[in-house]
Structure 1
Amino acid sequence: MGILAWIVLGLIAGAIAKLILPGKQPGGIIVTIIIGIVGGLLGGWLGSLLFNEPVDGLNLGSILLAVGGAIIVLLVYGAITGRRGSRA
């Protein structure tokens, strides 16, 4: 999968993950893309490990795995940045 496809998949996965999770998440469009790309990598790794289903293109299975990974990444990112902001 090329870099442009990873960016598109990251944008889709990050945006869907932000829509699924309630509340206001930190970050703008760049953070959404990064979270989506990292989520795609995490989802692809978990998918290949658990379901033998890698993220290999812009298809429904890849998008679902990427969204699942992006939700995990978004929860971790929110927990880290939320704690940091409440100390100040």
Structure 2
Amino acid sequence: MNITGLISAIIIGAIIGALGRLLLPGRQPIGILLTVIVGIVAAIVGTAIAQSVGVATTSGIDWIELVFQIGLAMIGVAIVAGLKARGRRGRIER
């Protein structure tokens, strides 16, 4: 992966992570860095799922692939926020 691909992955990951976080109801106690990381992972895994299903290569915008990516970002943000909130409760109770 060259520098252009890396920068593109970060930008797309940030957008996917932000969309996943915006669509997830409630407040998520995670920072922007974790949101971007979750978005990058969701974009990569969502693309792999779309390719395995056979919907990744269409003319124009790949809407189904985008839905996979945002859905995975929502799941990822929920998991990370839950783990982070669980860690905070454990510290407060002690």
Question: Same fold, TM exceeding 0.5?
Answer: yes
Letter in 2 for 1:53: V
Flag structure 2 segments of 5+ consecutive residues without an equivalent.
Answer: none
Partner of 1:78 in structure 2? 81
Q: Distance in 2 between matches of 1:9 and 1:65?
A: 14
Identity among equivalent pairs (%): 29
Q: Which amino acid aligns with 2:18?
A: A
User: Which residue number corresponds to residue 36 of structure 1?
Assistant: 39
Whether the aligned pair in 2 keeps the contact of 1:39 and 1:67 (CA below 8 Å) is yes
- Structure 2: distance between partners of 1:48 and 1:72: 20
User: Which stretches in structure 1 are left out of the alignment for 5+ residues?
Assistant: none
TM-score, scaled to structure 2: 0.71
Correspondences of 1:8-27 after superposition (within 5 Å): 8-27=11-30
Under a length normalisation based on structure 1, what TM-score does the superposition of the two structures give? Answer: 0.75
Deviation for aligned residue 1:54: 4.0
Larger radius of gyration: 2
Aligned length: 84
Contact 2:55-2:62 at 8 Å conserved across structures: no
- 1:87 maps to 2:90: yes
